[in-house]
Amino acid sequence: MFSSFAKRTTKVWRLFLKIKYLCELILEMSEKPHKAGFVSIIGKPNVGKSTLMNQMVGERLSIITSKAQTTRHRIFGIISGEDFQIVYSDTPGIIAPQYELHRSMMRFVNSSLEDADVILLVTDIYEKHEENEILSRVEKTDVPIIMLLNKIDQAKGTQVVDKIAYWKELVNVKEIIPISALEGLGISDVFDKIIEHLPEHPPYFPKDQLTDKSERFFAAEIIREKIFQNYKKEVPYSTEVVVEAFKEEEDIIRIRAEIYVERKSQKGIIIGKEGKALKKVGIEARETMEAFFGKQIFLETYVKVAEEWRKKEIHLNRFGYKQ
């Protein structure tokens, strides 16, 4: 009688312990710290920054990278998991003339060195120390730096090992990871290292968000990209695009965009003889948009003059450049 009571008590006790263990496990899992932070990708033009960002964030944002060359705004690429969120920024400014490029790059680098939680410093197997003015600044920052040696798919013999030794000698960075952004080699090592360095922080953006910018923004940027590709000299720099309407229907998106230039003469250039130049821009923009949004696009474009918009606060505010 007594022993069966004891047995039952033991059983209940065991069950209790099991439940307690499970509860603790669930609690522990839910308390796993969330990490989040900003990761800046910096480096000389053509080393593979945009290709890398593409790899890290995913194909859908490829447009960001291909048009990064003409980017005036800073765009984020966001990737989230259950317990992490990484917000990448790619470096803008390649088509710009040398001095302008350097100025804008250095501005970006300077702000990265202050804001970022982690810096990805991209080099490739060809780059030499003296070619890169970023390096001297980088060493002075407290932000953790992960140096990436890209394009190892093109390396021969001991080139990778030699180059890592070369950089270790010249630059004060703790980690150098060999990668091929193009072929996806070493990308998971980069990801692990970033997570290691990321601070504990709640997410900055909703978990399903891929970028901080709206669809209208991308539509405008695509048109701007085509303008950069189709016109010369200062015309693209004098142009701004505003998407006035973005109406998504079941199987088509209807977009109305206004192209602003600074002078009347530029309006003529944008439109071109018999409207041919603008037509070409429209066709190319529509094709890229269809690939980007995955839907049929109906695009209307109008060219307008906003005298000297780059110098006037009222226009700059309207176009989203905060002073």
Q: Which residue is nearest to ligand GDP (CB)?
A: 48
Shorter beta-carbon distance to Mg ion: residue 66 or 159: 66
Q: Of the candidates 49, 163, 224, 286, which one interacts with ligand GDP according to CB under 6 A?
A: 49
Determine the Cα–Cα distance for residues 26 and 120; give it in Å rounded to an integer.
35
Query: Phi/psi zone of residue 64: left (φ > 0), alpha (ψ -120 to 50 degrees), beta?
Result: alpha
Shorter beta-carbon distance to ligand GDP: residue 40 or 51: 51
β-partners of residue 302 are 258
The site that binds Mg ion (CB under 5 A) totals a number of residues, namely 3
Site mask, ligand GDP, residues 225-244, x = CB under 6 A? --------------------
Shorter beta-carbon distance to Mg ion: residue 221 or 262: 221
Shortest separation between residue 318's beta carbon and Mg ion, angstroms: 28
Give yes or no for a contact between 255 and 299, defined as CB atoms under 8 angstroms apart.
Answer: yes
Q: Is 47 in the site for ligand GDP (CB under 6 A)?
A: yes
Shorter beta-carbon distance to ligand GDP: residue 53 or 87: 53
Residue 265 binds which entry of Mg ion, ligand GDP, none, CB below 5-8 Å type-dependent: none
Residue 40 binds which entry of Mg ion, ligand GDP, none, CB below 5-8 Å type-dependent: none
Determine the Cα–Cα distance for residues 102 and 218; give it in Å rounded to an integer.
25
β-partners of residue 124 are 150
Q: Dihedrals φ, ψ of 253, to 5°?
A: -115, 130
Q: Of the candidates 39, 42, 61, 68, which one interacts with Mg ion according to CB under 5 A?
A: 68
Site mask, Mg ion, residues 33-62, x = CB under 5 A? ----------------xx------------
Q: In what order do the strands lie in the sheet with 240-248?
A: 240-248, 252-261, 296-305
Q: Is 181 in the site for ligand GDP (CB under 6 A)?
A: yes
Q: Is 120 in the site for ligand GDP (CB under 6 A)?
A: no
Is residue 9 helix, strand or coil? helix
The site that binds ligand GDP (CB under 6 A) totals a number of residues, namely 16
Q: Is 48 in the site for ligand GDP (CB under 6 A)?
A: yes
Options 145-153, 164-172, 192-200, 289-297: segment touching ligand GDP (CB under 6 A): 145-153
Reference 251, options 209, 292, 290, 301; nearest CA is 290
Rounded to the nearest 10°, the torsion over CA 13, 15, 16, 22 is: 150
Range 174-178, long-range pairs (CB < 8 A, 24+ positions): 174/145, 175/145, 175/146, 175/147, 176/147, 176/148, 176/149, 177/146, 177/147, 177/148, 177/149, 178/148, 178/149, 178/152
Q: Which residues bind ligand GDP (CB under 6 A)?
A: 43, 45-51, 94, 150-151, 153-154, 180-182
